[in-house]
Amino acid sequence: MEENSPKDLFLRVGGYNRFPVLAPRWQNVTTSDIWGKGAPGWDALGDSRMLMKLQKKKMLGLDKTTNPPVSKDAMVGEVNTLPGGETVTSSNAPDGGLRPVYQIKFDLASCQAAIKETQQAISETFYTDLFMMLLNSERGNITAREIAELHETKLLMLGPVLECLESELLDPLIELTYEIMWEAGLIPEPPPEMQGQEVKVEYISILAQAQKMVGTTAIEQVCNFVGNLVKVWPEAKDKLDVDQAVDIYADLVGIPVRIIRGDEAVAKIRQAAQEALLKQQQMQAGTIAADGAKTLSQAKLGEDSKGQNSALDAVMAALTGKAMPKNPIREKTGVA
């Protein structure tokens, strides 16, 4: 506000309608911490300083070993430390000359071992061993099952980190982007079907998809368990909803939606299969009945006063309550 201006008169009203800063944490806040940690570099800070100090000491030790500090007599001239250099001494000081101030016995192997150990600690802090576990493996006959278990271990270790990034970075970023685009008129009005509906964002990155695939192992174990039970107790198959298992498994592995049929399409296919099976059974039943009638018609019961009759004639006569038909051949020949 300007001096001597009305209280309700402001030069400018500013601010943010939303918090514009995205500051995700590497891990959630624990009970003993006030602030969250931004990255694993926070934990590796001490080892990084130690590594720099060890490298400095190694170079200093190598310098003192190859070019140690020396002392010279007062009558010695300028010292030349170059390879093949000459230094002038005085004959009046036979014991004079150049001498090391102290003996340097630098243990280079121990220094390099300490450096390697510190580098390994930094790599573990940044989860390098998890991402390089397969390349660092010295085994050549590792199985696919072991590889899957190693990937599951890696994703379980990174699970809390991914959850923090999704809830504190990716979700707010997407919401902020859509709000800015909505205010700028870049997004059209939603259709009536989406009015009042909550839109859920699903991440399809390689790492997010790999994290979802961890759940496929549990589905496979349950299906194998039920399959083994069915061999002994067939009624166990009624406990497993196979359709839901296929849908959930397909969603976890991230295959295209068009590959899996919907419930309505599956119901139509199963209904058509049942109708075809019923029709086939009816046709088989008709064929059996026709074959039975043919067999009865060819089975002769013997001759009577009216001629020779088949078993089919006897069955029809019993069903209708009428006498057996006359043999036309007997009637034609006049045989009594």
Cβ atoms 54, 108 nearer than 8 A: no
**pLDDT above 60 for 301:** no
Tell me which H or E stretch contains 336.
none
Q: Which domain holds residue 328?
A: 301-336
Q: CA-CA distance, 164 to 28, in Å (whole number)? A: 7
- Residues 260-281 have a mean pLDDT of 84
What are the tens digits of pLDDT across the range 111-161? 999 999 999 999 888 877 766 765 555 555 666 566 666 666 666 677 777
What pLDDT score does 51 carry?
Answer: 94
Does residue 133 form part of some domain? no
**Pairwise pLDDT comparison (98 vs 245), residue with the higher score:** 245
Q: Which of 292, 157, 278, 143 is nearest to 211 (CA)?
A: 157
Q: What does the H/E/C string look like for 18-55?
A: CCCCCCCCCCCCCCCCCCCCCCHHHCCHHHHHHHHHHH
Q: CA-CA distance, 244 to 239, in Å (whole number)? A: 12
Q: CA-CA distance, 287 to 272, in Å (whole number)? A: 22
Cβ atoms 71, 101 nearer than 8 A: yes
Is 94 strand, coil or helix? coil
Does residue 151 form part of some domain? no
The residue count of the chain comes to 336
Does residue 253 form part of some domain? no
Q: CA-CA distance, 299 to 301, in Å (whole number)? A: 7
Give me the residue label for tokens 């309550």. Answer: 321
Q: CA-CA distance, 164 to 219, in Å (whole number)? A: 26
Does residue 286 form part of some domain? no
Does residue 308 form part of some domain? yes
The residues that bridge with 308 in the sheet, in sequence order, are 303
Does residue 309 form part of some domain? yes
Q: What percent of the chain has pLDDT over 90?
A: 7
- Number of domains composing the chain: 1
pLDDT band at residue 201 under the 50/70/90 scheme: confident
What are the tens digits of pLDDT across the range 53-85? 999 999 988 888 888 877 766 656 677 777 666
pTM: 0.48
Strand pairing category for 307-310 and 300-304:
antiparallel
φ, ψ for residue 335, nearest 5 deg: -75, 135
**Pairwise pLDDT comparison (32 vs 336), residue with the higher score:** 32
Give me the residue label for tokens 């010279």. Answer: 72
Give the lowest-confidence range in 13-22, 208-217, 238-247, 294-303.
Answer: 294-303
What pLDDT score does 335 carry?
Answer: 42
Give the lowest-confidence range in 83-97, 122-136, 169-183, 201-215.
Answer: 83-97
Does residue 317 form part of some domain? yes
Residues in CB range of 24: below 8 A, 6 or more apart: 38, 164, 165, 168, 169
Does residue 311 form part of some domain? yes
